[in-house]
Amino acid sequence: MKNTMVVTRKIQLLIDSKDQEFIKQTKAQLYNWQWICFRSANMIMSHQFIQEQVKDFFYLTEEIKFKIADQKKEENGILKSSRQNTTYRLLSNHFKGQVPTNILSNLNNSLLSNFNKEKDAYWKGEKSLRNYKRNIPLPFGAEVLCGLSHTADNRDFSFKLFQIPFKTYLGRDRSDKKMMLERIKSGALKLRASHLQLDGGKVYLLAAIEIEKEQHALDATIIAEASLSIEHPVIVKVGSLEQAIGSKEEFLHRRLAIQAAIQRVKKAVPYNRGGHGKKRKMKSLEDYQHLEKRYVEQKLHVYSRLLIDFCVKNHAATLLLVNQLEKEEIAKDDQFLLKNWSYYSLKEKITYKAAKAGIQLILE
């Protein structure tokens, strides 16, 4: 088992320039790259899918033999290069000079990796082919981010990416982002292939950072069983020990109270003072919507942290989520559960924290 794992940190970036025209042009360039990535991603998936299914398009006799492989390496190969290189050359022919080749290369590699992991599910009808949207993040290799250093006030960091000067905006950072950037700068941590995300006119770095897993004295013979439900967010049991984490009153009732407030504010929106279009009218509604999102995220982080702490305290090397797959299927058909109980988000946070603690997670 690997002793390291990759975690992602979302960090807001500012274009490091006082020239407003330069900032405007740079953002326009980034959005153009995003548009190209959006088109490229769907082209890659379509071509890989067709290559995988090409035998179904040949209504020929059995004497015709072919293989979806490089003709230079395979006797019956029908491709001019490897499957991975076919889609890269496709992108290069269409977009070379319009977007950095590093972005195209990383986009091709990551999408092909996803395709290979999921293709069996495509053939079984368990998944549909991925369809990428216009807000797709821009992937890049860690080697093109250079010159990471402190800003003059020592509060943030500056660097260049594709020769574009950026600086971080950490604000009142209460997380570990600054510490991780410090360790990347010193060489104690490694930055892996990451992404730039454009959202509402803002630029974010989705930094993929390789970290060491926590070391705990876990016993392979001890299994913790956890159940997720709307009555008790988490109930975990190890042997005769059992603990309920959170409660319906604490989580659901508070969330429903926020939703009721959102409905009241929504009815009052037409009577709010205007100005700057609808932005001022909608501000109070958006504040309440963000409040609900922050509340849910914070609670799920707490629940998942307490669950993993319980496993570590009792030396459980394996965590079993009981009847989880069945519950997710039921939730799909129940609008109330689907809207108010974040099964997937809680499972995602448990998965991440379990991996970090060196605990094997099994879904039943």
Q: Tell me how far CA of residue 2 lies from CA of 76, 210, 361, in angstroms.
A: 39, 11, 15
pLDDT band of residue 342 (cuts 50, 70, 90) is: confident
Binning pLDDT at 50, 70 and 90, where does residue 12 land?
very high
Report the pLDDT averaged over residues 309-325: 87
- The pLDDT value recorded for residue 277 is 62
Q: State the average pLDDT over residues 200-224.
A: 90
How many CB atoms are located within 10 Å of the residue 184 CB?
Answer: 20
Mind giving me the DSSP string for 40-109? HHHHHHHHHHHHHHGGGG----TT---EEEETTTSTTEEESS-HHHHHHHHHHHHHBTTB-HHHHHHHHH
Q: Bigger pLDDT: 212 or 278?
A: 212
pLDDT band at 79; cut points 50, 70, 90: very low
pLDDT tops 90 at residue 140: yes
Task: Round to whole Å and give the CA distance between 363 and 347.
Answer: 10
pLDDT score of 329 = 67
What does the block give as tokens for 49?
């899918």
Supply the pLDDT for residue 285.
76
* C-alpha span between 327 and 322 (Å, rounded): 9
The answer on pLDDT for 338 being more than 60 is: no
pLDDT for residue 305: 92
Count of C-beta atoms within a 10 Å radius of residue 254: 14
User: Helix, strand, coil shares of the chain as percentages rounded to 5?
Assistant: 50, 25, 25
Nearest Cα to Cα of residue 270 among 262, 259, 261, 281: 281
Q: What are phi and psi of 140, to 5 degrees?
A: -155, 155
Tell me what pLDDT residue 123 has.
Answer: 80
| Domain ranges across the chain | 4-16+141-212, 30-124, 219-363
**219-363 CATH fold:** Nucleotidyltransferase; domain 5 (3.30.420)
Residue 276 to residues 20, 52, 228, 282: CA-CA distances in angstroms?
A: 22, 52, 45, 11
Residues 183-204 have pLDDT tens digits of 999 999 999 999 999 988 899 9
Higher-pLDDT residue of 204, 127? 204
Q: What 8-state DSSP symbol labels residue 251? A: I
> What pLDDT shows up at residue 335?
61
Q: Cα(172)–Cα(153) distance, rounded to whole angstroms? A: 14
Write down the mean pLDDT value for the chain: 82
